[in-house]
Amino acid sequence: MTAPPAAPARGWGADDRGRWDALFAAEAREHAARAAGALLDVQRDVERGAAPARALDAAFRSVHTIKGLAAAMEHAGVAQLAHALEDALAALRDGASAGATPAWGSVPAATPALLLDAADALHDAVEAAIAGAPADGARSTEQLVARLQAAAGDVPRAPVATRETDPAGEPREVGALAGTVRVHVRLAATAALPAARAMIVLRRAGELGLVTRVTPPAPRWQEDGFDGAFAFDLPSTVERGSIERAVRLAGEVAEVTIAECAPPIPFSSGVAAVAEPLGDVRHGGGRPAGRSAPGVRLDAARLDALLDLVGELGVARTRLAAAAARTGDRALAAAVGDVGRVAAALQEEVIACRLVPLDELFARLPRIVREAARTSGREVALALDGGEVAIDRAIMDGLAEPIGHLLRNAVAHGVEPAERRAAAGKPPTGRVAVRAWRERDAVLLAVADDGGGVDREAVLRRAAERDGGGAGEGAAAAPLDDAGLLRLLSAPGLSTAPRVTAVSGRGVGLDAALAAVRRLGGTLALRTAPGLGTTFTLRLPLTLAVVRVLVVRDAGLTWAVPVAQLRETLDLAPAHLADAAAVGDPRAAAPAAGEAAHLVSRGAAVALRSLHAVAHASATPGGTTGTGAPGAGRPAASPAAASVGAPSPEGEALVVESEGVAVALRVDAVIGEREVVVKPLPPVRGALRIWSGGTILEDGGVAPILDVPSFLRLQSAR
């Protein structure tokens, strides 16, 4: 027998532990969210009178995984809760998969709610374990476990789940064959799953000769009384040394004794007693039909690296295309075209890998709504739609906070108290919905309620108070559209005022939510109607990793401006100048004096700024070196060419726009549109961030990408 190699004592190294913690956090969170989502499906199925076998199975798998993870990480509280939930789910599932609607009929109606409570508690326990907090509320956990056990006990087990159907299990007093030895085996006290271990012993022994007279019979091994001691007969022709070796090779064997047998008695097959019940053992586990594979998980850093390489492939392709154009080789040009198509497809695939369905976020929302409803005393039903819409994981992670804000507001301040709803002729239960859908390269998320709508009057009054009278009257005179209303609501001074919260019932944390959405490169829109409700719509990019930009040159440097926020480009012909006298020659204007110039864009005057002046005012990262991939360290222009204010006769203006605010940026030349991979830029000390990142250009230089919303806020703050 081969001696097992000495296993190194495997203590947790500090590094190791951190790595396992991170893995645990990622995976336990994901499965907690999946379990919660599946349990919502359970509730829905039960409400519709359907057997929720699939949903139970999905929940079971996730809970089971959490149990394993928690046990491995010694998070006992999580493991205990997961174990109890798993048992309850298994009991319910075996009832449900037996197709017995009667089984569901006899499930207490409170069970789905109990399961959801358990999912919440599991979520909390997982978060506490991740935070390193001791499992708190152990008593409430115990109560929950007890309730789960009670619920599991209440479910009639489907007949298929029982294992006592085999008649061969009865001890048969049969004698030994002529010429046999009796083998007595005692398993180690520490042996896990002794019945399974004993089975391996029998199989090993069975490789030597016919196994007979097994006692206690194998079907009894799974009963509580089995202590790991059993015996069987083997033909005496088998050498004793090899019997002992074979038995010990099964593992976890504490003792083997081999004795001569008593006189022969007619034969009955002990092997059959082992083999037959096995064929009948059934379990519903692990056989869901038609589920799509979750796939292999990749480290995010790997994907980033892959995307960087795709970006560089695009750069190389562009250079190759230029070379092909110079030589005029048509075969080469065609090949370059093929490379381009493959590179584009590759980029799409890599980006798709970064996307995850919103389900994971959605799974956390019912809990938020229930809590908000409980604390605010509202009766609210939540509808979720579009969980299959996929988005960059980084964006989804950042969405939890703003969506949570909006949802809590919708419940606590959007939906009216029941009596007011009744007075308005509405059903007593308020409706809150979160919907997601895809529009080209954007993902839209709407948080809607059927409440009373935002009280414009109250918001205006409060704004007027804050601004000291005069401005308020002006604002009141003009009808306030939804965009203007949102601006007022999300102004920090207004939104945090408790009085407005009480009066208008809106705006708590709206500035924070808006800031979070902006950080994700998104925008927020509001629609509200008195008596009908309010909808906040978030528009988010699909990914932060790739962006369509217009590459421009100004003052000898290259810049990138996201197309998403580009309203139009204008040449600087006099026709567009709102005030030619004030503008003078825009190219000669001192950078800091840009305030005086205006352009007409879509019938309205917009301020004209010089891009390089803006850049210098906010500490340009254009000369950044050493960032990004190899070869990316070169600034995009030589120092001589970068001298400020180099006049150019070919000036154009880019009108950029975000959330209803527009500014025109004067640049020397527009080079073209590109889809580029965004690379993070190092933090700029002591300057406001108006660059969302950088990208590598065909010539290897780095072009900063303008963060239009930040830039516009900076402009309006001046």
Partner 1 sequence: MPRTVLICDDALFMRTMVGDILREAGFEVVGEAATGVQAVERYGALRPDLVTMDIVMPDMGGIDAVREITRLDPGARVLMCSAMGQQALVIEAMAAGARDFVVKPFQPSRVLEAVERILA
Give me the residues that bind partner 1 (CB under 8 A), please. Answer: 1-5, 7-8, 10, 20, 23-24, 26-27, 31, 60-61, 64-65, 67-69, 71-72, 74, 83, 163, 192-193, 195-196, 199-200, 203, 222, 249-251, 275, 278-279, 281-283, 285-288, 291-297
- d(C-alpha 509, C-alpha 512), whole Å: 5
Is residue 696 classed as helix, strand or coil in its secondary structure? strand
Q: Map 341-364 to HEC letters.
A: HHHHHHHHHHHHHHEEECHHHHCC
| Least distance to partner 1, CB of residue 70, Å | 9
- Residue 403 corresponds to which amino acid? I
Give the DSSP H or E segment for 436.
strand 430-439
| Least distance to partner 1, CB of residue 274, Å | 9
- d(C-alpha 272, C-alpha 15), whole Å: 51
| Least distance to partner 1, CB of residue 28, Å | 8
Nearer residue to partner 1 within complex by CB, 137 or 288: 288
Strand 430-439 and strand 380-385: the pairing is parallel
| Least distance to partner 1, CB of residue 252, Å | 9
Q: Evaluate whether 35 touches 67 at the Cβ level (below 8 Å).
A: no
* Token pair for 298: 């990749």
- d(C-alpha 260, C-alpha 240), whole Å: 11
The CA–CA distances, whole Å, from 709 to 214, 524, 537, 686 equal 78, 12, 17, 19
- d(C-alpha 610, C-alpha 668), whole Å: 10
First to last CA, the chain: 81
Q: Evaluate whether 522 touches 490 at the Cβ level (below 8 Å).
A: no
| Least distance to partner 1, CB of residue 359, Å | 15
Nearer residue to partner 1 within complex by CB, 247 or 365: 247
- Residue 210 corresponds to which amino acid? L
| Least distance to partner 1, CB of residue 289, Å | 9
Cα Rg of the chain, angstroms = 35
Nearer residue to partner 1 within complex by CB, 200 or 503: 200
| Least distance to partner 1, CB of residue 108, Å | 24
Is residue 193 classed as helix, strand or coil in its secondary structure? coil
Nearer residue to partner 1 within complex by CB, 245 or 438: 245
Q: Map 264-277 to HEC letters.
A: ECCCCCHHHHHHHH
Is residue 538 classed as helix, strand or coil in its secondary structure? strand
| Least distance to partner 1, CB of residue 72, Å | 4
Nearer residue to partner 1 within complex by CB, 30 or 659: 30
Nearer residue to partner 1 within complex by CB, 64 or 527: 64
- d(C-alpha 457, C-alpha 503), whole Å: 10
Nearer residue to partner 1 within complex by CB, 71 or 168: 71
- d(C-alpha 211, C-alpha 202), whole Å: 7
Nearer residue to partner 1 within complex by CB, 70 or 678: 70
| Least distance to partner 1, CB of residue 60, Å | 8
| Least distance to partner 1, CB of residue 4, Å | 4
The C-alpha angle 223, 224, 230, rounded to 5 degrees, equals 70
| 550 exposure class (CB count in 10 Å sphere: 0-12, 13-18, 19+) | buried
- Residue 547 corresponds to which amino acid? V
| Least distance to partner 1, CB of residue 392, Å | 20
Phi, psi of 375 (to 5 degrees): -75, -30
- Bridge partners for 528 per DSSP: 534
Phi, psi of 606 (to 5 degrees): -125, 145
Residue 285 neighbours by CB distance under 10 Å: 13
Nearer residue to partner 1 within complex by CB, 72 or 590: 72
- d(C-alpha 464, C-alpha 338), whole Å: 62
Nearer residue to partner 1 within complex by CB, 294 or 672: 294
Q: How many CA atoms lie within 13 A of 16 on its CB side?
A: 5
Nearer residue to partner 1 within complex by CB, 22 or 422: 22
Phi, psi of 536 (to 5 degrees): -100, 130
Q: Evaluate whether 61 touches 284 at the Cβ level (below 8 Å).
A: no
Nearer residue to partner 1 within complex by CB, 250 or 560: 250
Q: Which of 181, 358, 352 is nearest to 262 (CA)?
A: 181
Q: Evaluate whether 546 touches 661 at the Cβ level (below 8 Å).
A: no
Nearer residue to partner 1 within complex by CB, 62 or 601: 62
| Least distance to partner 1, CB of residue 143, Å | 22
DSSP 679: B
Is residue 257 classed as helix, strand or coil in its secondary structure? strand
| Least distance to partner 1, CB of residue 426, Å | 43
Nearer residue to partner 1 within complex by CB, 60 or 559: 60
| Least distance to partner 1, CB of residue 71, Å | 4
| Least distance to partner 1, CB of residue 203, Å | 7
Nearer residue to partner 1 within complex by CB, 78 or 664: 78
Nearer residue to partner 1 within complex by CB, 298 or 342: 298
| Least distance to partner 1, CB of residue 344, Å | 29
